[in-house]
Amino acid sequence: MEQIMEQMPVVLHSLNIGFIQTLKLFFVTLIGAFPLGLLMSIGSTSRIKPLSWFIKLLIWIIRGTPLMIQLLIIYYFPGLVLHNPIWGGGETGRFLAASFSFILNYSCYFSEIYRGGIQGVPVGQEEAGLVLGMTKTQIFFKIKLLQVIKRIVPPMSNEIITLVKDTSLARIIALQEIIWAGQAFMKGSQGISGAIWPLFFTAVYYLIFNGILTLLLGRLEKKLDYFR
The residues of the shown chain that bind other proteins, judged by CB under 8 A, are: 10, 72, 75-85, 87-91, 93-94, 171-174, 176, 184, 187-191, 193-194
Cβ atoms of 101 and 71 within 8 Å: the answer is: yes
Shortest separation between residue 1's beta carbon and other proteins, angstroms: 16
Alpha-carbon distance of 52 to 68, in angstroms, equals 26
Nearer to other proteins, 187 or 228 (CB): 187
Nearer to other proteins, 44 or 176 (CB): 176
Cβ atoms of 98 and 173 within 8 Å: the answer is: yes
Shortest separation between residue 202's beta carbon and other proteins, angstroms: 17
Nearer to other proteins, 7 or 45 (CB): 7
Strand partners, 189: 192
Nearer to other proteins, 104 or 179 (CB): 179
Q: Compute how many other C-beta atoms are within 10 angstroms of the C-beta atom of residue 114.
A: 26
Shortest separation between residue 122's beta carbon and other proteins, angstroms: 40
Alpha-carbon distance of 83 to 76, in angstroms, equals 10
DSSP state of 16: H
Nearer to other proteins, 129 or 198 (CB): 198
Cβ atoms of 14 and 181 within 8 Å: the answer is: yes
Shortest separation between residue 169's beta carbon and other proteins, angstroms: 12
Shortest separation between residue 167's beta carbon and other proteins, angstroms: 16
DSSP state of 15: H
